[in-house]
Chains A and B, each alone.
Chain A
Amino acid sequence: MGLRRYLANKTVWYLGALVVAVVLNFVLPRLIPGNPVDVLVSKMGQGGLSSEAQQRTYEAFMREFGLDKPIWDQFLLYISGVFNGNFGASFSFYPTPVSSLIAQSVPYTLALQLPAIVLGWIIGNLLGAIAAYKGGGWDKSVFTTALLFNSTPYYCLSIILLYVFAVVLGWFPVGGAYSLGTSPEWSWAFFSDALSYWWLPFASLVLINIGGQAVGMRSMAIYELGSDYVNYSRSLGIGDRKMTGYIFRNAMLPQITGLALSIGTMVGGALITELVFSYPGMGSLLFGAISSSDYPVIQAVTLLITIAVLVANYMVEILYGFIDPRIRASKSGEK
């Protein structure tokens, strides 16, 4: 009963957040004085297009993107696009649909972030747990290193790794996702080639995630070490190993919600990491779209990121509800 209420509560909140996010994603780009096409066409004007040609392009774009319709119709159009996965055509790669641009980038972003988040979480928690358990010099060195990584901005570490390991030492390629002359395909040759480009951006994401999780886990575990049940279990003669089990089960729970809350930050950091390594994922796509005022692409990418983060958070919180017996049993869901 408690669980059902918790699930319902979370579902309502996340649906609310989703609605707000979708609306903001529609409204914010339209706060621009004039409209996106104005900006784009005036840029073309600088490129030396005649004013007549400009006018024609302008009208064509207006029709194409439905900007000549009233705002309410535009919104309905946008919503139906969201549901159909149809985000229109890109400005800069006209008439390539935005969805196919995104389909090209998403695999790279997922290949970087998913393993980095999952492995970073697992390794970081293990390291933090061991640091808290072992104490002494181990704790000190792990904690200091983790703190340093945790407080290093993603892109700073990316830049340093790129410079040291790719430029100076030459162990890895300097940027991109695969060698010139190869093209993405399902073959071992391409996969191993792509892997050599993948290591560095992956490392810079995973190292920082490990640092953050280790710092969090260590302090949670130390907090749990001082709790009453540890003392009581000790007084019953329960061994250290068993007690470690209790402690880490309890310390783990806040770490799960911590994961949910940090996914958003991680995604933001990873965008720039892609830029640094010229890795052709969503970050690079977004960067390109921003510099060329490609509004349909910007809007689609930000919407997708938001939805992905919301869904990930939602799933983590639901999982948490199943794991923590206090939620399963409590009478009311917490907010």
Chain B
Amino acid sequence: MTNISSSAVVAEAEGPLVPVGLPTEPKKAKPGWRSLNFGSRMWIALGIIGFVAALAFIGPLFYPFGPDEKVGSLYDYPTWMNTPPTFEHVLGTENFGYDVLAVLMASARTSIIIGLLAGTIAVVIGVAIGVLAGYVGGWVEELLMGFTNIVLAIPSIVILILISISLQSTNVPFLKGAVGLALVIGITSWPWTARAVRAQASSVATREHIDVAKLSGARTPSIMVRDVLPYLASYAVMAWVLQLASAILAESTLSMLGLGPSGANSLGKQLFWALAFQAVATGAWWAFLPPTIVLTMISFGLLYLQSSLDEVFNPRLRRGKKKNLAKAAARRAETARKLAENQPVEVNA
């Protein structure tokens, strides 16, 4: 029978009950950074993100072709599929005859920059509104949270589309480009963060150290910055990771609707052109799979990073290592056996 109260929470804890004690390995001194207990998930996530970042920022330094260099015609096969195979254009060419890998690297760079900019704007606005509402309370909170809830209820994609359409028709190149898009995404995606931060901030506001700060004559802004913000830092980092992911996805959604940054490559624009020129229907996989995969990697990597950060910041979510738990189970069985036989037990063996 399943023991439901335990099975899910500590499923891994129920390792096999090995009948005899396993020899314990001699303990090795761990380097300092190991004590952070990052766990394998964190490394997988960081690995994925690191790979994409290297592709976007280091790749172009070594790749001989640029994203605006016409090297072929519509959907040339990757050169390793030719006879004889060469490795000149590993991912072939796209609809305009540009090298797909070169465009991919430039696109990933733009997308990441848009994500960083928009994510940061969203987190800064969200944290500011959340802390102000949560700490000050009263009518300020009512007002700010009322506003936030209204903005939350309206689907942000609609607002994004409408603003982007207006931006497309301006004659200011700055607003039409990547920076303008990042601004728009940033100022439309803060409400989630604001709502969550407010909840945290109002719980911090009731803690004793805030009273101490008030009694010692600190002013409200200084309390908010010095005594409330530090407690929200870990939360803000996690929110930032999520905002980064959702900003990159928002950019590609807009780009696929034809509202992408003008004068720049981006992962969404790459997909837009691939769809416009029937890459999927004609089987030109090298034109649409690379941006699809990179987008999925970014999204998966960042969400995975967020959930493993959650484990680092909330140790209660951590689970023991399977190997250790199996060993412990074996030792436990041994102790039980000795107790049953009334032998002396050395509990901390």
Query: Which residues of chain A have a CB within 8 Å of any CB of chain B?
Result: 13-14, 16-17, 20-21, 24-25, 28-29, 31-34, 39, 131-136, 139-140, 147-148, 150-153, 155-156, 159-160, 162-163, 167-168, 174-175, 218, 221-222, 225-226, 230-231, 234, 240, 243-244, 247, 261, 264-265, 267-269, 271-272, 275-276, 286-287, 290-291, 298, 302, 305-306, 309-310, 313, 335
Interface set, chain B 299-328, CB cutoff 8 A to A: 299-300, 302-304, 307
Q: How far is the CA of A315 from the CA of B4 in the complex (A)?
A: 34
Contact present for B288 and A302 (CB under 8 Å): no
CA distance A166 to B293 in the complex (A): 19
Question: In the bound complex, do residue B8 and residue A132 qualify as a contact, i.e. CB atoms below 8 Å apart?
Answer: yes
Sample 14 A-B pairs with CB under 8 A, ordered by A number: A20-B150, A135-B2, A136-B12, A147-B307, A151-B245, A151-B299, A153-B295, A155-B252, A163-B280, A243-B4, A275-B256, A275-B257, A290-B259, A291-B258
Which residues of B have CB within 8 Å of A34? 169
Q: Which residue of B has the minimal Cβ distance to A26? A: B162
Contact of B249 among A16, A153, A168, A240 (CB under 8 A): A153
Q: Which chain B positions have C-beta within 8 A of A247?
A: 4
5 pairs of A and B residues whose beta carbons are closest in the complex:
A268-B157, A135-B11, A135-B7, A264-B155, A28-B162
Known: A290-B258, A335-B145. A29 touches B295 (CB 8 A): no
Contact A306 B249 (CB under 8 A): no
Query: Are A272 and B158 also in contact (CB < 8 A) when A150-B303, A313-B153 are?
Result: no
Residues of chain B in range 144-170 having any CB-CB distance to chain A below 8 Å? 145-146, 149-159, 161-163, 165-166, 169-170
| Residues in B neighbouring A32, C-beta threshold 8 A | 165-166, 169-170
Asked if B9 lies at the interface with its beta carbon under 8 angstroms from chain A, I say yes
Kindly list chain B residues whose C-beta atoms are within 8 Å of the C-beta of A305.
Answer: 155, 157-158
Chain B residues contacting A29 (CB-CB under 8 Å) are 162, 165-166
Contacts of B271 in A (CB 8 A): 155, 159
Knowing that A139-B11, A152-B296, A272-B253 touch, tell me 4 more A-B residue pairs with CB under 8 angstroms.
A159-B292, A160-B289, A267-B157, A306-B158
Name the residue of chain B whose CB is nearest to the CB of A305: B158
Assembly CA distance A271 to B257 (angstroms): 9
With a CB–CB cut-off of 8 A, which chain A residues contact B153? 13-14, 17, 309-310, 313
Q: In the assembly, what is the distance between CA of A14 and CA of B159, in Å? A: 17
User: Smallest distance from the beta carbon of A161 to chain B beta carbons, Å?
Assistant: 10
**Is there a chain A Cβ closer than 8 Å to B65's Cβ?**
no
Say whether B253 contacts A225, CB under 8 Å. Answer: no
Given contacts A222-B8, A286-B257, contact A306 B299 (CB under 8 A): no
Interface residues of chain B, those whose CB is within 8 Å of chain A, are 1-5, 7-9, 11-12, 14, 145-146, 149-159, 161-163, 165-166, 169-171, 245, 249, 252-253, 256-259, 271, 275, 280-281, 283, 285, 288-289, 292-293, 295-296, 299-300, 302-304, 307
Interface residue from A33, A226, A269 paired with B9 (Cβ < 8 Å): A226
CA distance in complex: A234, B6 (Å): 11
CA distance A136 to B7 in the complex (A): 7
Which secondary structure characterizes the binding site on chain B? helix
Q: Whole-angstrom distance from the CB of B74 to the nearest CB of chain A?
A: 17
B292 to A160, Cβ gap below 8 A?
A: yes
A137 to B213, CA, bound (A): 50
Contact status B257-A153, CB under 8 Å: no
Known: A151-B304, A298-B165. A231 touches B5 (CB 8 A): yes
Q: Which residues of A contact B150 (CB under 8 A)?
A: 13, 16-17, 20
* Alpha-carbon distance between A190 and B21 when the two chains are bound, in angstroms: 69
* Pair A152/B299 contact, Cβ less than 8 Å: yes
Q: How far is the CA of A175 from the CA of B281 in the complex (A)?
A: 8
| B285 near A163: Cβ-Cβ < 8 Å | yes
Most B C-beta atoms less than 10 A away, residue of A21, A168, A268: A268
Residues of A within 8 A of B281 (CB): 167, 174-175
Contacts of B257 in A (CB 8 A): 271-272, 275, 286-287, 290
Given known A135-B11, A163-B285, A286-B257, contact A33–B145 (CB-CB < 8 A) = no
Give the one of A151, A167, A269, A275 with max B CB within 10 A. Answer: A151
**A133 x B280 contact (CB < 8 A):** no
- List residues of chain B with CB within 8 A of the CB of A163: 280, 283, 285, 288-289
Question: Nearest-CB distance from B140 to chain A (Å)?
Answer: 14
Contacts of B293 in A (CB 8 A): 156
In the complex where A153-B296, A156-B295, A244-B4 touch, is A168 in contact with B283 (Cβ < 8 A)? yes
Q: Are A156 and B292 in contact (CB under 8 A)?
A: yes
| Closest-CB distance, B294 to chain A (whole angstroms) | 9
CB neighbours of A271 from chain B (8 A): 157, 253, 257
CA distance A287 to B293 in the complex (A): 23
Chain A residue contacts of B12, Cβ below 8 A: 136
B167 shortest CB reach to chain A, Å: 9
List, in ascending order, chain A residues with CB within 8 A of B253's CB.
153, 155, 268-269, 271-272
Min distance, Cβ A224 to any Cβ of chain B, angstroms: 10
Q: Which residues of B contact A140 (CB under 8 A)?
A: 11
Cα A40 to Cα B307 in complex, Å, equals 47
Which residue of chain A lies nearest to B192 when distances are taken between CB atoms in the complex?
A: A261
B169 touches A153 (CB 8 A): no
Q: Is the Cβ of B169 less than 8 Å from the Cβ of A136?
A: no
